[in-house]
Amino acid sequence: MAVIDLHQAAGDERSLSAAFVDSVLPDLLVHYGLERGTVLEQAGIDPAVFQDPGRLLPLLDVMRLFLVILDACGDPGLGFEVGRRVRPRSYQVLGYVILASRDLDEAIARLMRFEKLSGNLGRTERHDSDTEVRLEWHCPVEGEPARFVREAAITGWVTFMRPLMPADAAPLEVCFRHPAPPDAARYQAALGAPVRFAADFDGVRLAPELLAAPLRSADPGLGRMMEREARVLLADFDAHGNLVSRARAALYRRLSAGEPSIEGVAADLGLAPRTLQDRLRRQGQPYQEVLDGLRRSLADIYLRDPALSLTEIALLLGFSESSAFSRAFRRWRGTSPVAWRRRRSPT
């Protein structure tokens, strides 16, 4: 487990939709011969989060889940395998508004406009010239896990769009900034386009004439309807943001100073305490649940670090003493932090 990278993700407000994760996870686990319940338990993910298709998973939880899978499979192409399993339903409204687009040009415009709806994880930029259209994806994750996030996003783009295009339509090149993996040949075979590693950007290069290619799934009526729905969802997202992730980030910044109060977190977010509590409840995650969820996630990370004592972990989580942490951990996991750490320590 890359403890330091996960630790940095704890205070990040970015997120990914639970619907995306749930759409790729079943086939991915079958591919690697893993059991869903075991993986979710090891990642500390409550299966109930997938019952709400509108739920957004904080970046910390997404990274923990896929790093658990990486620990089990050891496949450097994990992100690529995630992207290969993307389907229109993976992106929900964003996917269907793209699906109904007139042509690739309109699909790209809608992707960039409504990208936040898939979870506000990364950002796409478009650069046009006489010879090519370049779509660049800016990844928020640094360090070794970044390659998996980049490959999942960009492979997902190509996997999603290729069946909608004419049979002979393909990107000029699919580009990744990280070095090539040992089995790079599988990338080109699956994506049907040249793949360049150690490139100067993450994304795809397209021929300008490809933009006018009509999509096989084009449906102007459905497109207009889905775009109206996407505009409403985007306005709500811009007005309130992913409040749960913002609250988690504010809580993370306050944890090491002791038990974080809702008054302090609300002040950090520019809200009245009652307003914050009401909005979190409307999103299905009351304040205490958000705090417990963050502490639970961080506890799993800290317990993997043998350099941290239980007392140090308790203080990092905002508990006044290790006994309070132990009681809370038993409530979350049904076992003691010592036993949890022992089960997950390398033999």
How far is the C-alpha of 217 from the C-alpha of 164, rounded, in Å? 6
Look at residue 3 in the predicted model and tell me its pLDDT. Answer: 39
CB 201 within 8 A of CB 127: no
* pLDDT of residue 154 exceeding 90: yes
Walk me through the domains of the chain, giving residue ranges and CATH numbers. Answer: 3-238 (no CATH), 242-344 (1.10.10.60)
Look at residue 1 in the predicted model and tell me its pLDDT. Answer: 38
CA contacts within 13 A on the Cβ side of 343: 10
Digit-coded pLDDT (tens) for 228-273: 999 998 887 776 667 887 888 899 889 988 899 999 999 999 999 9
- Of 11-20, 27-36, 125-134, 280-289, minimum mean pLDDT range: 11-20
* pLDDT of residue 225 exceeding 50: yes
Q: Which of 139, 121, 160 is nearest to 24 (CA)?
A: 160
* pLDDT of residue 341 exceeding 80: yes
Look at residue 16 in the predicted model and tell me its pLDDT. Answer: 86
Q: pLDDT band for position 4 (50/70/90)?
A: very low
Mean pLDDT of the chain: 88
* pLDDT of residue 157 exceeding 70: yes
Digit-coded pLDDT (tens) for 60-101: 888 889 888 998 999 999 999 999 999 888 888 999 999 999
Residue 1 or 124, more confident: 124
- Report residue 80 as tokens: 């690529």
CB 180 within 8 A of CB 107: no
Residues 6+ apart with CB under 8 A from 272: 266
Cα of first residue to Cα of last residue in the chain, in angstroms, is 15
Q: Pinpoint the alpha helices (H) of the chain.
A: 3-9, 18-32, 36-43, 59-73, 78-84, 93-99, 104-114, 146-161, 185-191, 220-240, 243-255, 262-268, 273-282, 287-303, 310-316, 322-333, 337-344
